Amino acid sequence: MALTEPTVEAIVHREPPRGRSLWVDARRRFLRNRAATVSLVVLVLIALFAFFGQFLTPYDRATVDFSLIGINAQQGYPSLETRRYFGTDMEGRDLYARTVQGTRLSLMIGIVGSLVAVVVGTLYGAIAGYVGGRVDGVMMRIVDILLSIPFMFVLILLLVMFGRSLLMLFIGIGLISWLPMARIARGQTLSIKNKEFVEAAIATGVRPLTIILRHIVPNLAGVVIVYATLLIPEMIIYESFISFLGLGVQEPNTSLGALISRGAAQLGNGVPWQLGFPLFFFVTMLFAFYFVGDGLRDAIDPKDR
């Protein structure tokens, strides 16, 4: 059977091939990264554990079993029969319930702190880069001065002066960690503000603030998302270090840093599970966030496409 050539009408009416958007291409590249995909699944499982794990145990995080306090803590070993999945701590409280709450608080502090840092830093850097001139110089010199101040010293000072509250921990971590994001956003804005679509918006009389919010900031989304995923583990580490020093989350609440601190102090008393379980969730969560961040960076970077 002879092959027939397509007619002109068939060629004209043939549907053009559908192109792939940047985000569709980035998603496919991300899913091809096995380490990043597995890490994303691990993060989802950790989030489910943090927010719904409490329903799997009959014990409360603050309920004390007086028969398992102090020297009797070795009897509170992990057991499925007693539903003490992670054992108990030195105060006779269920370690599984406290690990669930600690993971939830550490995860929330990391996400909320990075969200505050990304929003403040992106808007600050975009305004500085778009306006330029003396305004840009003054705004970035402020950032340089603030960056020269030790971050941990300022955070500890805020907690000592205004109280060791969870709200102050959120505010302190978020409002200080926006400085690197501001420099990144400002550098990206300098390369975007001379693009044709920005010049077209200026020519049509669009206000500068509208240009920043509708044209500049959306084009920073790729960099912002990657930076946010890499910033979350840093926020978790900061909070864990502060809680390890005893300045972070206060009783009866807890975090992974506080649990690790208490578990490390009891490591020589024959109760290794008090350190092992919180440390496992802490390390796993950090590695998962870093792998996801690396995967997003490779997927969104246009030079790798």
36, part of any domain? no
CATH number at 283 reads: 1.10.3720.10
Q: Which domain holds residue 103?
A: 46-66+83-304
Assigned domain for 8 exists: no
In a domain, 182, yes or no: yes
Residue 1's pLDDT is 44
The domain tally of the chain equals 1
Tell me the chain's radius of gyration from C-alpha atoms. Answer: 26
**Buried b or exposed e, range 152-190, using 16+ CB within 10 angstroms:** eeebbebbeeeebebeebbbbbbbbbbbbbbbbbbebbe
Rounded distance between C-alpha atoms, residue 248 and residue 238, angstroms = 10
Q: Look at residue 19 and tell me if it is in a domain.
A: no
pTM score: 0.78
The C-alpha atoms of residue 116 and residue 170 are separated, in whole angstroms, by 9
Could you tell me if residue 121 is inside a domain? yes
* Residue with tokens 């900061």, as numbered in its chain: 238
Using one digit for the tens of pLDDT, what is the confidence trace for 197-243? 888 888 888 888 888 888 888 888 778 888 888 888 888 888 777 77
Residue 37: CB atoms within 10 Å: 15
Residue 177, phi then psi, degrees to nearest 5: -85, 5
Residue 127 domain flag: yes
| pLDDT tens-digit profile, the chain (305 residues) | 444 555 555 544 555 545 456 667 777 887 888 888 999 999 999 999 999 988 888 888 877 776 766 655 556 678 787 788 888 887 778 888 899 998 998 888 888 888 888 888 889 999 998 888 888 889 999 988 888 877 777 777 777 777 777 777 777 776 678 888 888 888 888 888 888 888 888 888 888 888 888 888 888 877 888 888 888 888 888 877 777 777 777 777 788 888 888 888 777 777 788 888 899 999 999 899 888 888 887 777 655 44
**How far is Cα 11 from Cα 14, in angstroms, rounded to an integer?**
5
Q: Does residue 134 sit within a domain? A: yes
| Domain annotation covers residue 22 | no
